[in-house]
Structure formats: C-alpha cells, structure tokens
Structure 1
Amino acid sequence: MAENAGVSDTSDGSFITPNYRRYALGLLTAVYTVNYVDRQILSILLEPIKIELSLSDTQLGLLFTTFGIFYATLGLPIAMLADRTNRRNVITAAMTIFSGMTVACGFVTSFWQLMLARILVGVGEAGSSPPSHSMIADMYEPKSRATALATFSLGVNLGIFAGFIIGGYVVQWYDWRTAFFVVGLPGLVLAVLVRITLREPPRGHSEGRVEDSDKEVAPTIFDVLRFLLAQPSFRHIAAGATLVSFVGYGAVAWLPAFLIRSHGMEVGDIGLALALIIGISGGLGTYGAGLLADRLGQGDVRWYMWVVAIAGFAAFPFGFSVYLVDNLAIALALFVVPAAAGSLYLGPSLAMTQGLAPLKMRAAASALLLFILNIIGLGLGPQAVGIVSDLLEPTYGVESLRYALLVMTPFGLWGAVHFYLAARTLGADLERAQLAPAA
C-alpha cells in the first residue's frame, strides 16, 4: 500500500493482536535503548576524551549543549512529518543516521570534528521518539498507556546501563574510540529489523477514533502550539519535566567525572556501579511509576501527576546528600533513590501528553514536550555544570565539580512542584482534548 499522507499498512488495524502489540512495544523499546546508549556513551568517556584532545570542562559541556539544541529543535519538524506520513519509515531513517554518526565519533581527531559528529547524532535521534510515542498510543488504550509508555521509557535505564557497562570496560581494555564503534554498529542492524517487521497502526485505533487520513487537513505547528500551550496542565507538565531533566542530564553526564575526581574510582568500576544503580533502580522506578499511575489513575486521574510529584519531593534530600559525603559507599547508596526517581516522570507525562492531544497532533505533542525539556534539560544541564565547575575551580580545585553538581540539585524540587500543580486541571484538560476535532 502507499505509505504517504499517513496511510497505514493495514487500514482496519486487524494485525494489532496482543502478541503483535507486545512485539512492537519491545522493538520500539529496543530502538529507544540503542538511542540512549548512543546519547549517553559520551558521559563515561569524558575523562579520556578530555585528556587526549586537551579539552576544558566548558568544551565538554558544549558537546552536550550542541547535541541538545539540534535534537530538540529538529524534533518538532520531524514529528510534523511523522504526523503526516509513515512513522515506521521515519524511525528507520532516524536510526540509520544516529547509529552511523555514533560510529563516526570514533574517527575524530579534534574538538570541532567531535562536536559535528555529536550534532549529527542529535539530528538522527530527533526523529526517533515522537513517532514511537504516537504509534504506542495508537496500539494501547488510555487505561494502559502510561504502563506501555513507561515500558518504552525503560530504554533510558537500559541504555544508560548498557552505555556505562560497555563504555566503562571497553575504554579500560581498549580506548574511547573503540567504545563508539561497539555501541554504534548494532543500531544499523536494528534499523533494518524495524523496516522489515514493524507495521504502521491506524491513527486512533486504540480509542476507536480512526479517521479518514485523506479527508482531514493536517494541523500546522502553530495549531499544535496554540492547542497545547492553552492547557494549564500541559504547561506544568512541560515545566516539571524540564526542571527534572535539567538536573538529571547534568548529573548523568558528570557523575563519572565526579566519581573519578572526588572519589578516585576507576572508569570500569564506575561503569559497573552506575549501570547497576541507574539501570536497575531507575528501571524499577520508571516502570513502577507507570504501572502505579495507571492503577491509581482509574479512580482519580490526578494520580498520574501526584505519583511523580511525591517521588520528586521524597528523592530530593537523598540527591542533595550524594555530593555532601566523602565516603564512596555512602554516596553510591544515597544515589539509589534519586536514580529511581530520575526518569519515572516519563511514563505518566508522555501518557498524559498523548491524552491531551488530538489524534493528528500526537507525534508533534510529544516532540513539543521533548523540545521544551531537552532544549533546557539536555541543552543547558550538562553545560551549566561544566561552566560552574570551571568557575569554581580556582577556589575548590578538583572538588569544583562536586559543588557544581550540588547547586543544580534544588531545581528538581522545583520540578516536583509543577507536577503537583499539573494535577489541578488535568481532568478538565483531558476532557477538552477528547472533544476536539481529530486533526
């Protein structure tokens, strides 16, 4: 069948059996895992790259900033394309680009070459998540959507787990260039599997709201912005996610360097420790939050946001204390709690964003949320830590990074407040979205 204008492979969605849904969700989660491995591998490699290429902390932070800017800004136009055309093909092309450019990172010989390669990784990754969110929403009905999107979001934790394990040991046994090759090549194989086995679901299938794609006019980016930003709950979700990701991206990017400088850990040991903490406790938090929100949300939809807010308030004192203790074992033990809470906002936030958007705005709605949180969280979080660390270095020396990370932590508490505020208007905003035209 034709694959333009959003035409599905099977218009009635009869192929979406329970087994197929599980397979598709698993495959998209694998895509997101590879996406996150390629994104986060740089964190564990910062120190050897800094030494070989003679870079400052500000330059290292700039690698994350430039990645974040292109990743965030290109997500919106690519999502608009995904709302009009075959989402599987968009994901396939995106995977090919970001995996290929990750491999290219292993060949660079200067800061500028590395920055260009990382920018192109960001360009590719911009096209992966929004179409995936939209496809999952079309396969899973609202009452199980947060769990499905939380499962998809496990790619964050699995990706960090794999990135730290692979990166930590490969750089210890070989070098940082080999680490880029090892994590980049599997994505090219997975892109072929996506193209061959994943099928395009009818839009709105999970809610019985399938529209005639040929007759409906696709919304413009201004339509999407106008509709979503008019909803108080979306504004608070976006603000909360942005602040939490600002802290999270900064911490994950710089924790390996912090553990090397302040606690004298070896790179391989850091990779194993952070992989276990973020991968296991973070994964349990991410999946558990989606499952809990779906269960409690059946009685009161506000629980989708309350779950996230409560976790943020509870995790703050633990996250703050990580940078105050000198004992390595205690610091790692304290980090378990913020690691569990760090990405648990994803499932409920993405599910509610999909619910707050009309059918043909769903990929764009996810892209808008990702744009807001990534332009600040990913684009500025690691960079802010690097700049503050350089500014504090004359006073605190090697411990400057410890205090740079410490001063960023309270932004997560501010984010929890926004999730609490989002709950107040969530029910009314969801009802308004259900009454909106499909396009």
Structure 2
Amino acid sequence: MNQVHRPPAPTVNWRTHLSLLLLALVYVFSYIDRNVIAILIEPIKREFGASDTAMGLLTGLAFGVLYAVMGIPLGRLADQGFNRRNMVAMACGLWSLATMACGMASQFWQLMIARMTVAIGEAGGMAPSMSMVSDLYPKERRSIAISLFMMGPHIGMILAMALGGWIAQQYGWRATFLFFGIPGLVLATLLWLIVKEPRRGGFDAAPATAAQSSQAAQPLLAQLRGLLGIRAFLLVCLACGLGGIAGYGYGIWGPSFLMRSHNLPLAQAGLLFGLASGLGAASGAIFGGWYCDRLTRRDPRWQLRLPMIGAVLGLPMGFAFLLWPAGNWQLGSLAIPHAMIFAVGFGFFNAWWPPLCYAATSHMMAPNQRALGAAMLNLFLTLFGAGLGPLISGALSDLFVGRFGPGSLRYALLLTLCLLGLTALLLGRAIQSYTHRLDALKAS
C-alpha cells in the first residue's frame, strides 16, 4: 500500500504570533468602523431628523444584509485557494475608505450608502481571517487563539465608545469617522507586507479526503445545503443568530440608554459603556478560551457546554444593568451609575459564546471548508444580529414610547435580551450532535 507523503507539520513561532496580532488588530478596527456609529446615534439623529427605527435600519439592517450575504461567496473563494492574506488586506483598505466616506456624507442616503460599502468591505475580512487563524495553530490551542483574535470586538468597543465619544463631543460626529478610517489603511499595508499565507490544514492529523475535496468543488448552493445538513452546525448557527439579536441590540443602543435613562452626556456615556463592556468582555473571552481548551482535553462536549453556560449567566446581568435604579458613584467630576457593575458582568459572560462557537465550527469542518463554515456562521450572526438586533430594538423603542416615554428603550432592550435564553437552549441541544460530527470526521 502506498503511503501518502505529507510535508512536515508547521511550527508555532514568533511569526505565527505576529500574524495573529496583525489579524486581531485588523479585526479591532473592523469592529470600530462597524460600531462607532453606536455612540454617534444621538447627534446623527438630531442633524438628519431621523427616528429610532431609521437609526436602527442604518446601524443594523443596511449593514447586516450586505455583510452576511457577501461573506458567503467570499468565504468560498478563500476555501478554493485564493490568497486569504490578500483578501483580508484588500477588504481592510475598502472598509477603511468607506468609513471615512461616512464622515463626509451630507445627506442621510449618502450616509446609508457609505455604511453599506463598509459592510461590503468587512464581508471579505472575517471568514478568511478565521480560516487563517485555524491554520496558524494546532487544534489543542485553537480555542484560545480564536478567543484572542475575537478580542477585537471588545477592544474595538472600548476605543469606539470612549475615544469616539470624546472626538464626537470635541470635534463633531463626522471627525470620528475620519479619525478611525485612517489606521485601517496602515494595517492593510502592514498585513500585505508582513503576513504570509499559512498552509491549509497543516496542523490537522490527516489531509482532506477525496470525498471532502469533492464536496469543496460542488456548486455553492450544494455546499451550503451540505453544511446546514450538519445538525450540530445548524443548531449553533441558529443559537448565534438569536444571541446576536440580543447582543447587537444591547451594544448599539447601550450608550443611548445611558444618555436617556441615566442622563449622562455623550462622551461620558461612551467612556463608561465602552470601558465596562469592553474590559468585561475582553477578560471573559480570554478566560473562556483558556478554560475551554483545558476542559475539552478531557471532554469535547465542553466546547458547547461552556458557551451555553455563558449565555445563561449573562442574561440576569443584562437585566440588572437595564433595571437597576438611578444612583451614582462619584469619581472626581465623573458620575458612574451603579448599574455599570452589571455591564461588566454581562460583558464577561456574554463573551464566552461567540469565540467558542466559532472554534466549534472550525472543529466541525474539514480544512477546505473552514472559511465557508465561518462565513455561514457569520451570516446568521450578522444578518440576524447586526442586521435585525439594532432595528428590532429601535422599532420596539418607538412602539413603547407612548406607554413608557423616555424609558421605552429600556423595555425594548429587556425584550430582545430574552433571546439569550433560546441561545442557551439551542447550544444544549447541539452537544450530542457535535460529538457525533467529530467522531465522523475522525473516521473519514
């Protein structure tokens, strides 16, 4: 019997970590450029005379639909051999220019078009990056590597809210978009010049089988049907979609909630929400990734058990943040609402499920399916989460205003947060199917 010759496995070295760092920094600025609009909702509303529903459309669906739909063919392109490093660098350059264009819009429709262009650019960043990170590290270190990569949203939250709020208050909302667009152009250049394309599946125990290779060569719709036919993957996608509605609605409207219900000025609302949510989530992501890698060495079911627990524990923290009565600690001239302690707790626990679900997806896919699998999970997370989360929360706020007045946003966010309970339920249902999928991949 002829033995299949494989090149020696790659090693993890300083260049591996540098590549992860640059990819993570690109993701930081993708999240800033995507979400800095959250701290700018109130001044944009005043300038263009927009409703909460219109702002929910601008911050959510206008971005989420294009981001999710474009990510699928671009993810397939990454799986079919296109240089992923080049894809991410070009995408980063495009969304950075589009972010700067947001700051130059003089009409609401121009801002909408620029926002949609940001979505098109960012669609080419996430799935190829996730595929690269999965090929940079072996399986036993992949959860912590992906968790470190996915600290991007949490660091981005701090910078977007805290620094973005200060820039907007000092120089106007347009300057905020211009300021945050420039670093992405620098990062795109550094990524192109420094990072090398990792070998696909280099750390995997066996090369892709003939059956897996033929699946990757199928038409796109056939591939997507095949992926959604993996029961565990479908349940994880649905869980992330529902959790995304809750998480994105909370993240986009959180600063406005503090301004309306706790009477904080724009810069202070951005600073406190960004620091509390970002620091809580960053520490939660690191802890979740590290602890998951430890637990899954003994039992792979913890890859989905831990994010399920995080969703369950995050829910009461989010409720407490929204319902806690007004009252402040005074730190010099800075008034800190007592409710902010629960924003830290929500960020910590809610940060467990997104990176661990992406890591679970990488485990469920063959090496030449990972970018498309990540793009498919991204479709659910962004189409439902980024697309519908802010829109649903804004529309509910407008609906409730006759009954609750300025407190309408509080009850809109409470209602959307309840979806985290369904996220936990679906992840629990996926555990058994997940282990069956891992066994099937080992046997193939």
1:342 aligns with 2:338: no
Out of 42, 47, 53, the position equivalent to 1:52 is 47
Q: How does 1:257-268 map to 2 (within 5 A)?
A: 257-268=256-267
Aligned residue identity for 1:61:
G
Aligned residue identity for 1:382:
P
Q: How does 1:3-402 map to 2 (within 5 A)?
A: 16-63=11-58, 64-84=60-80, 85-210=82-207, 218-219=216-217, 220-328=219-327, 329-402=337-410
Shift of 1:165: 1.6
CA distance in 1, matches of 2:45, 2:8: 51
CA distance in 1, matches of 2:226, 2:439: 13
CA distance in 2, matches of 1:426, 1:235: 10
Aligned residue identity for 1:237:
V
1:6 is matched with which residue? none
CA contact (8 A) 2:246 2:416 kept: yes
Once the two structures are superposed, residues 81-100 of structure 1 have per-residue CA deviations (whole angstroms, 9 ceiling, x without a partner) of 11121101110110011000
CA contact (8 A) 1:260 1:266 kept: yes
CA distance in 1, matches of 2:110, 2:165: 23
CA distance in 1, matches of 2:361, 2:208: 20
CA contact (8 A) 1:203 1:210 kept: no
CA distance in 1, matches of 2:8, 2:265: 51
1:412 is matched with which residue? 420
CA contact (8 A) 1:12 1:202 kept: no
Shift of 1:12: 5.4
Shift of 1:209: 3.7
Identity rate, percent: 34
CA contact (8 A) 1:203 1:211 kept: no
CA distance in 2, matches of 1:431, 1:187: 41
Structure 2: 5+ residue stretches without partners: 1-5, 328-336
CA contact (8 A) 1:238 1:373 kept: yes
1:3 is matched with which residue? none
Aligned residue identity for 1:252:
G
Q: Does the residue aligned with 1:121 lie in a helix, a strand or coil?
A: helix
Runs of 4+ in 1 over 6 A off after TM superposition: none
More deviation, 331-340/114-123: 331-340
TM value normalised by structure 2: 0.92
Shift of 1:55: 0.8
CA distance in 1, matches of 2:420, 2:308: 10
Shift of 1:211: 6.1
Aligned residue identity for 1:145:
R
Once the two structures are superposed, residues 21-41 of structure 1 have per-residue CA deviations (whole angstroms, 9 ceiling, x without a partner) of 111111110110011010110
CA contact (8 A) 1:90 1:127 kept: yes
CA distance in 1, matches of 2:180, 2:291: 33
Aligned residue identity for 2:427:
F
1:8 is matched with which residue? none
Aligned residue identity for 1:399:
G
CA distance in 1, matches of 2:209, 2:94: 32
Shift of 1:325: 2.2
Q: Does the residue aligned with 1:264 lie in a helix, a strand or coil?
A: coil
CA distance in 2, matches of 1:216, 1:309: 33
Shift of 1:226: 2.8
Shift of 1:208: 4.6
Shift of 1:228: 2.2
Question: How many aligned residue pairs are there?
Answer: 425
CA distance in 1, matches of 2:375, 2:257: 32
CA contact (8 A) 1:283 1:340 kept: yes
